[in-house]
Structures are given as structure tokens and as C-alpha cells.
Chain A
């Protein structure tokens, strides 16, 4: 597809469960970002990948959150032992390295932890 694709669009889970959120970036974009947006807030940076490696994971809130991008394209955000406070929209974005600042966002995955 032409844009950043995220699945699932909606995920409802129970407290304590494990969740995976997937992001398929725009073809050719080497940079990939995960953001989290809680109700009434702006997007909050979680992690940035340049290629396969996590170049900056300073935004991950704790060790329950982990993300991978094994082949430098698709990325998966993994959340262990989910808590109610993890409920948010998780946004993925990609960019062409040479166009720093112009992020192309997906539609997001809305996570609800009951």
C-alpha cells in the first residue's frame, strides 16, 4: 500500500495479558517510529528505528514494552503484562532519512486494557 499500515486497528484485552501491535511502513523508508497517544494528549515518543536497530528507545516507559524490526521493514511493538494505564492509541510513523521531520503516520492501533 501507499501509506503506513497498522494492525490491529482496535485491540481489547484484559489486564495482565500480552499484546503485539504491528506496523508496516512506507516502502523505502528507513526510519520507523512508535508513538503513544493518550486521551487529550499529543503523541508521545516511544522508540525510533534506523534500519533494523533501535537507535533511540528512551521513550519506552518501562521494561514491559519492547519493539523489534528484524528485517528493517515491518515492526512489532510488544507489551507484556498489560495494565489499564497502557490504554491508548499507538501510532507508528516512518520517514525517509533525508527528509528529517516529515513523519508519515499510520491510523494507529487503539488498545483498551480492561
Chain B
């Protein structure tokens, strides 16, 4: 069965510092990887997906199949980035029964 591991429960940085939220997965095939974000008092929403290869709100994530990782990075953190971040994996083509990690709380201080 597939699994997603986010080793950090909490990541605390200062505004302007670089950020890397770690995500590792276990799956023998070719999964799709996603990052979802939940801001305070808001609903869970998609941040980015690896197949899009896009930067959203300054965040990027590269799928490394050799290391089975999909770390989320941003060069300069902003206070509004403070949120709960979930890495998720889908192994089904055509629909998305996502397997989520436990999440990492990012706290950006002024």
C-alpha cells in the first residue's frame, strides 16, 4: 500500500528565510503527487501538483523518483504562508483517492 511521510509536525521560520517542507512517499509505480494547504479558518485547497510543473505563490516542488521525495520549497517565506501543508499521492488514473501525509504546520514569524 502507498504511504506518504511528512517528518516535521512544525516548521518555524522567520519572514524572508527559505522554506523546505519535506515529503517522502512509498509506492512502486508512478504516482501523482500534490501539495494541499489549509490556511487558518479556511478549507483544504490544492496548492500545486507535480505534473503541472508550476510555481504557485512562490512555491515549487520537484518530484524526485530516485529519492521518492516531493519536497515543497520557497526561497523567501512570507507571514501569509503560515498554514498547514499536506503532501498527497494518487495512484489511480482517472480519479483521485488521495493518500495524505500527516501534515506540517508552517509558522512564519515577522
Chain A positions near chain B (C-beta within 8 angstroms): 3-4, 31, 33, 40-45, 48, 50, 55-56, 58-59, 91, 93, 95, 97, 100-108
Contact = CB atoms under 8 A, between A and B. Distances in A.
A55 to B, nearest CB: 7
Given A42-B103, A105-B45, A97 B95 contact: yes
B95 A100 contact: yes
Interface residues of B, number: 24
B46 A102 contact: yes
A91 B93 CA distance: 22
Contact of A102 (B4, B49, B93): B49
Interface string B89-103: 010111111111111
A42 B102 contact: yes
A107 to B, nearest CB: 5
Nearest to A47: B97
Contacts of A45: 97-99
Contacts, number: 66
A101 B86 contact: no
A107 B95 contact: no
Interface of B: 4, 32, 34, 43-46, 49, 51, 86, 88, 90, 92-103
Given A41-B103, A45-B97, 11 more contacts: A4-B43, A40-B102, A41-B102, A42-B101, A44-B100, A45-B98, A56-B95, A95-B96, A101-B34, A101-B46, A105-B44
Nearest to A50: B95
A3 B100 CA distance: 22
A6 B43 CA distance: 12
B100 to A, nearest CB: 3
A33 B36 CA distance: 16
19 contacts: A4-B43, A43-B44, A43-B98, A44-B100, A48-B95, A48-B97, A50-B95, A55-B95, A56-B95, A59-B97, A91-B44, A100-B96, A101-B49, A102-B49, A103-B46, A104-B45, A105-B44, A105-B45, A108-B43
